[in-house]
Structure 1
C-alpha cells in the first residue's frame, strides 16, 4: 500500500464509524430515557458486563459512570459464572453488552441475574437476540456494517457502544447535578482534583519555617532571615506579631539601587507596607490566581488578628501540582 492508500483506508474507517454514530443518534428513543431512570434510581451499583471487545468497552463505561457520580463496576461474564456472581445483588442494575446478543458467557448468567431480581439493561445490535429479549430495557445499536472490510473485527459496533455509554453517563451526571467539585473528589490524584481540593493550609510553611522579622530589625538581619527560610521574602510584624508589611527580593534590589546602608537602615523604611495576604482555608488555586494577578512570587497567610500563620511561594504551588 502507498501512503495514499493508507490515508484512503483511514478516512473510510472514520467515515463508516461516523455513520454508525449518526445512525445511533437517529434511533435514540424512550428506551434510553427509561434506562437512565433505572440507573438513576438504583439503590445498589450499576454492574457492567460484556465479553471480548464489548467487555473492553464495558469496562470503560463502568469507569466513566463511576467517575461521574453513578457508582459502577465491571464484572467479566466468564468470571461471573465461576463465583463473581456473588458481587451482584437485587438492588443493582446490570448493563450487559453484546453486539450479537448471543454471547455464550453473557447468555449463561442471564437466568441467574433475573432470578435475583436485578433489573437488566441490554446494549446490542440484535433486537431479537436472547439478550435483548431477556432485558427489562433494551438499547438497540443499529450497526449494519463494521468498518473492518472483512466484517469481522468489532469497529463501528464498539464505537457506537462507547458513545452510547458516554451518553448514559453524561445524562446521569446532569440529572444528579454532579459538579466539578464532586468530580474532583473522585479524581484527587489528577490536576483538576488538586486545583479544586487543595487548600493553602495543605502546602504552606508554618511555625519556625515562616520568615519573620520585627519592624525595627536592621535590613542586614532581615536578609539573613530571607536566606534561611528560602521563600524569597520575609514578613514584617509589630511587637504584637501583627503583619505590617513584607520585604521581598524585589524590595532588596530597589534598596540596593538607592545605596542604603544595610547595617543601620531599619526594615520598616524599605519594606512594602501591608503586602498581599490571604486567610487559611482558601483554595490553593485561588491563592495562585491572586499571585498571578498581583505579579508576586510569594504570599503570606494570616489569621483573624492579622498574624502570619503560614507562607508559600510559586515553588510550593509547582511542587503541589497546582500550576
Structure 2
C-alpha cells in the first residue's frame, strides 16, 4: 500500500506526478490561498508525509493529532514555522530546502539594496504620477553603493553570496556571525567584527541570519541607534529579527536613512502597518527565492526529501 501524503499548496504538475508515482496524494488545490487550519488538522490525522510551506504552523497541537506522521518536508530554508523539538520528540523527521535558493536570494537581497539606495520605486512612482516636470540638481538623490561599506549579519551561504556581489561594487565588507570563517575571510577579503562595530561602521547593513530565539529582535532601538544617519538596513531573512516598532521610529526620526524589507513579523503584512506609511521604506512580499527556476528546484528538493524518508532512506536535508 502506498504511503499517504498531504501537500498544503498546489505545486507544478511535474512535482505532483513525481510524488504520485510512489504515494497516495491529497493536496490543497489553491495556489494563492493557504490551506485552512481546520482542513490541515483533519488531513494530518490520515497521512505519513506532509509537504508544507512557511505559511503552515506545524505546532504542538497539530502534531498531537498526527499519529502516523513520519516526515514534514518544508519547502523553504527556514523552518521557524515548525516546532522542531516537538517533532523530534515524536520521531518525526523534518527537512528543508537549502542550497538551491542561495544565489537567487542573494540576487534579490542586492537588488533590494540597490533599489532602496537609489530610491527606484519612489522614482518610478514620481514619473507615473506626473510629478516629473523638469530636471533639478538634487531631485530624487540617493546613496552611492560603489565604494561603500557593507555589513553582513549572518555569514551563511546567502551571506557569502551577497558578499561576493558586493566585491563587484568595490565595497568593503564587514561581517558578524556566531563563528568566524577564516576561509571566507581570505577568499572574499572580508573582515569579522563584533555586531556593535559593524552597525557603527556600515553604510548598508544586511540581515541574513536565521530566525532563532537568540536572534529574535536582534536589531532593536539600541542597535539602530548605533547606525549612521545615512545608513540603510536591508532584511531578507525573517521579520522577527528586526523589531518593527524600533525600525519605524528610527526611519521616522531620521536615525537611519532608509530600509528595505522582504519580510515582516506577521505575513502577509497588514496594509495599515505603520511601516507602510513611510516614504523611506522599500517593501516586497517575501520574494527572496522567487525565480521560476529556483522555486521549481525547491519543490523538487522538498519532494525528494519527502520520498526518501518514506522509503526508509536518509533525506538529503534533515533538520531533525
More relative contact order, 1 or 2 (CA 8 Å, 6+ apart) = 2
Bigger fraction of residues in helix:
1
TM-score by length of 2: 0.23
Greater Rg over alpha carbons, structure: 1
TM-score by length of 1: 0.23
